[in-house]
Chain A
Amino acid sequence: MTAPLVNLTIEGRPVSVPAGTSILEAAKTAGVLIPHYCYHPGLPVAGVCRMCLVDVEKAPKLMPSCATAVAEGQVVHVHNDKSLEARKGVLELLLINHPLDCPICDQSGECELQDYTFQEGRQDSRYREPKRFNPVEDFGGDVLYVPNRCILCTRCVRFMDDVHKDAVLAVGERGDRAVITTAPDAGLTQPWASNVVDLCPVGALLSKDFLNKARAWELDRSASVCTGCSQGCNIVVETRDNAVVRLKPRANEAVNAFFMCDEGRLNYRWLNRQDRCAVPMANGAPAEWSTAIAAAVGALNGKRAHVVANASLSNEVFFLLKRIVGKTGGSVKFDVPQGAEAALPGVEDLALRADRVANATGAEAFGAARTEQPYAGVSAGDVLVLVDVEPSAVPSTALNAASAVIFIGTADPSGLSKLTAAFPIANVVESDGTLTNLRGRVQRFLQAKAAPGQARPAWFALADLLIALGEKADYATASDIFAALATSTPAFDGMSFDSLGLKGTPLAGSMAGAGR
């Protein structure tokens, strides 16, 4: 039941979009960005900032493009004098009471007020009167409100009301006294509340966690996927000087719309942990990679491998682990830590999931077994292979039963008994790969920072181990491994890194993305 197409002209370009589309969205399809503040595709239309006014031929006055549906034969001018003058006027008015404190504002460099003013605002202000002043307020949770920078776009209010379904924010007062307000003991502690910080187009809502931490232009950004739970929210990992300083949601209509939960957002410090496994080890001492691999092969000779893997590891890792146990015999097991589920009510099938791992679906696709007791059944003489698990969490009974322990991970393994070999590996933001979310959507994550010391991507280390075990595994990149697993695993048939793009593809036979 698709809507009929409507043909119109925007900035001289022909556009065909389904009936009911707004002029603003239609313009995007023609590569024309109509400046706007209050409009956000994930929120109900407010039409209040009046920034997106455009000149529609034959209309008596300028039309708000966010709230005006396309009509057949419409001719829309976005950058003519009339529209530009209107936007210039809005920008001047938004700035008259603004403190112009960009040098101390966290939003600086990623501020839409700054961007549009630079692009098409006035050079100077004609405002000669005292400016309005309201004190900074702690909104609770991770959110700070700086009312003097607020442009009353109401995105935050609409998010909490219409998407989070908990109207803890409201516009208070009216006219030029209006501010965003909250009830006295209702802080922004809701599980998805910090999205208001991302939604705020200016520096009025700030993250306390990120406060004064970095300037926007100092950050390097990489597309990634949140590993906090099985939802697989698309994110941007932002690093400064090889440290992750902020995670932000990345739009993906099929998974997380425009949002991510606070737990996922604020849980990034482990990515920068200092107690890393940074050099390979053989028989308890630092060694060359080749020595460590030789030690592992020696331990595995004629023994079954009991592999316990972190279920947030990539599809590529689980594919290679499958091949290793295929060679040595044994099995791959994983457990799934549980947490409270927290849905975002306004978006279908979006929640912080009870399964607090990212790739249980992928692990199972490659034969790994989900169990609450991954260490049970280590038979005497088995080699215990630990892949990115916390050494402190390994039960001594399993260590005692094993003939040897091979550690492939990120944490410092030096306390483990029977440690025959240790391979330092990169964590999720230090390597490339793919994850499969709870609805079977396969999504790529990209490297955001360098791995410490001699650490290598897990797939690289495992491929070397396979070769040392006498298997063919001449993979040069994660992409090569993905191509190999796609060829040999029917559910992944036809997929490649290129075809996944940055928004992923559902497994054959799975639900088409997360609910939508």
Chain B
Amino acid sequence: MGYPHKTHPRETAILSKHFGETEARTLDGWKKRGGYRALEQALAMTPAQIVDIVKASGLRGRGGAGFPTGMKWSFMKPGDGKPHYLCCNADESEPGTFKDREIMRWTPHALVEGCAIGAYAIGAETAYIYIRGEFTECIDWMEKAVAEAYAAGIIGNNAMGTGKRIDVHVHKGAGAYICGEETALMESLEGKRGNPRIKPPFPAVSGLFSQPTTINNVETLVAVPHILMNGPEWYKAMSLSSPKSTGSKLFSVCGNVSRPGNYEIVLGFPFKDFLYDLCGGPQPGRKFKAVIPGGASVPIQTMEEAEATMMDYEGFVAQGTMLGSGGVIIFDDQQNMPRMIARLARFFAHESCGQCTQCREGTAWTTKILERIVAGQGTFEDLDTLLELADNMTGKTICVLSDSCAAPVVSGLQKFRHEFEALITGKRSSMSTGAKLTAQSSQLSAAASTGLSV
């Protein structure tokens, strides 16, 4: 399986402590490891007490936006007479990110417990775990864990014998990155196309089935039991640089690196040490060239920027990018950056829901221009067009998919313009696969068309 690697001494394994232990997947094994004690404790508290503890811990959303979790929960007004819902966002699809996958496949009960606590804290009787359809293994393990938890009376209409009702359901997605956007996820759960909604209204006012809803990432929810068991001060104390970034966080590492995989560190860890020590640095004979530190949607960093970064919400921003979902993509000196960026653009074009004009047309056009440049057919005007197009695609649409497509293009052109220019002037021969990319991209639109061009 090649995973999990041994925990590095400089890691702080809290959420990932039991990765690799097959026994931890079962209810008995999970209980042996202290599982469901936090839920028991939570059900003896008032929802408001739980919200206060989570607030005090400084826990921030691990899905990408980093919104304070306790504050988000506090938007759910108890006693409003409406059904409340908790959605767990397990539609992990951001290129470079695969942490929730490991949480679900190794510690499924951790997520059931996190969902149950979260649901109780926001006054919801129903939680849905929306898992992307491709995660077949995660879905299997989560369904097993939910069934076990129901059978043991941990969840259901008399959760842990407290008389409280907490239902948890697994909902399988069907292939759409955009359903990781919170309102698109709700649309999808409602049996619709995964089109993001206009906000306001925000989910806490009108979310799933038009009822007050909170949506949290997998990693956020599995952190909650630890916070309840160890106290907010313990969690808050885990912070290495900015006091606004607390706790441990899983970072997924992929690309051209010696030891890809998931690493759990305390926020504020030096990125340089992370890359060269924990991840083992570049593969033999290679040099790192660029890093996308927070999943494909965030701006690309040069190594100079990356090595000066502290790994927390503020630290990444200070170095021109974002922490995002913590998906670290590393490119080494063998890689053709325009080709990598073109492929990312194609990802976004493929995944655009197509509602907003700028995104529907802009992502596809950006992809076509980039692939033409990679194929050696680019012009200098194309570079200006790309930047103006990126500007037109930023901050103008319902959700940020369009912005996400623009981010690597703008940062790539800023930081690696010479590579684009070399392809345009022919000083660097286009890689043979470049032409193939273009051929494949026309297949992209062939799905809905005859493939004819006019």
Contact = CB atoms under 8 A, between A and B. Distances in A.
Interface of A: 45-51, 53, 61-62, 64, 67, 86, 89-90, 92-94, 96-97, 99, 126-135, 148, 151-152, 171-179
Given A49-B357, A129-B365, A64 B450 contact: no
12 contacts: A48-B357, A62-B396, A93-B362, A94-B361, A126-B381, A126-B385, A152-B354, A152-B355, A175-B364, A176-B363, A176-B445, A177-B448
B398 interface: yes
Given A94-B361, A131-B453, A175-B364, A53 B352 contact: no
A486 B65 CA distance: 68
Contacts of B355: 46, 48, 152
Nearest to A130: B453
A133 B364 contact: no
A174 B193 contact: yes
Contact of A50 (B397, B445, B449): B397
A152 B360 CA distance: 10
B356 A48 contact: yes
Residue from B349, B357, B450, B451 with most neighbouring chain A CB atoms (10 Å)? B357
Nearest to B359: A175
Nearest to A86: B396
Nearest to B384: A126
B44 interface: no
Given A48-B356, A50-B357, A177 B447 contact: yes
B157 to A, nearest CB: 35
A53 B396 contact: yes
Contacts of A53: 396
B365 A99 contact: no
B350 interface: yes
Contacts of B392: 86, 89, 92-93
A28 to B, nearest CB: 20
Nearest to B444: A177
Contacts of A92: 392
Given A99-B454, A175-B352, A50 B358 contact: yes
Contact of A61 (B176, B198, B381, B396): B396
A494 to B, nearest CB: 46
Contacts of A99: 454
A386 to B, nearest CB: 58
A151 B354 contact: no
Contact of A173 (B351, B396, B398, B448): B448
Nearest to A177: B448
B249 interface: no
A93 B396 contact: no
B127 to A, nearest CB: 28
Contacts of A47: 198, 398
A176 B354 contact: yes
Given A96-B361, A175-B364, A129 B353 contact: no
Contacts of A135: 450
B368 interface: yes
Contacts of A177: 354, 444-445, 447-449
Nearest to A171: B193
Nearest to A154: B355
Contacts of B350: 175
Interface string B336-376: 00000000000001111111111011111100110010000
Nearest to B369: A129
Interface string B378-402: 0001000100000010011110000
A462 to B, nearest CB: 57
A96 B398 contact: no
A133 B368 contact: no
Contact of B354 (A62, A96, A175): A175
B452 interface: yes
Contacts of A151: 357
Nearest to B446: A177
A321 to B, nearest CB: 56
B49 to A, nearest CB: 35
Given A152-B360, A175-B350, A131 B447 contact: no
B449 A175 contact: no
A94 B364 CA distance: 12
3 shortest interchain CB distances as A-B pairs: A130-B453, A177-B448, A89-B392
Contacts of A126: 381, 385
B184 to A, nearest CB: 11
Nearest to A88: B392
Q: Could you say which of A48, A135, A174, A178 has the most chain B C-beta atoms within 10 Å of its C-beta?
A: A174
A94 B454 CA distance: 16
Contact of A129 (B198, B372, B398): B372
B397 A175 contact: no
Contacts of B360: 93, 152, 175-176, 178
A94 B357 contact: yes
Given A174-B193, A176-B445, A96 B365 contact: yes
Given A61-B396, A131-B453, A133-B452, A50 B365 contact: no
Contacts of A51: 357
Nearest to A95: B361
Nearest to B351: A175
A484 to B, nearest CB: 55
B334 to A, nearest CB: 29
A129 B442 CA distance: 11
Contacts of B357: 48-51, 90, 93-94, 151-152
A99 B360 CA distance: 17
Given A48-B357, A93-B362, A96-B361, 5 more contacts: A50-B357, A62-B396, A130-B453, A148-B454, A172-B448
Nearest to B176: A174
B173 to A, nearest CB: 14
A50 B372 CA distance: 28
B172 to A, nearest CB: 19
Contacts of A173: 354, 447-448
Nearest to B372: A129
Interface in B430-454: 442, 444-445, 447-454
A439 to B, nearest CB: 34
Contact of A133 (B356, B398, B449): B449
A178 B451 CA distance: 14
Nearest to A98: B361
Contacts of B445: 132, 176-177
A53 B356 CA distance: 12
Interface string B300-311: 000000000000
Contacts of A133: 449-454
Contacts of B176: 174
Contacts of A176: 349, 352, 354, 360-361, 363-364, 445
Nearest to A66: B198
Nearest to B348: A175
Contacts of A96: 361, 365
Contacts of B385: 126
B50 to A, nearest CB: 32
Contacts of B369: 128-129
Contacts of B397: 50
Contacts of B368: 129
Contacts of A48: 355-357, 398
A93 B364 CA distance: 10
A71 to B, nearest CB: 12
Contacts of A132: 445, 449
A90 B351 contact: no
A134 B352 contact: no
B174 to A, nearest CB: 12
A61 B395 contact: yes
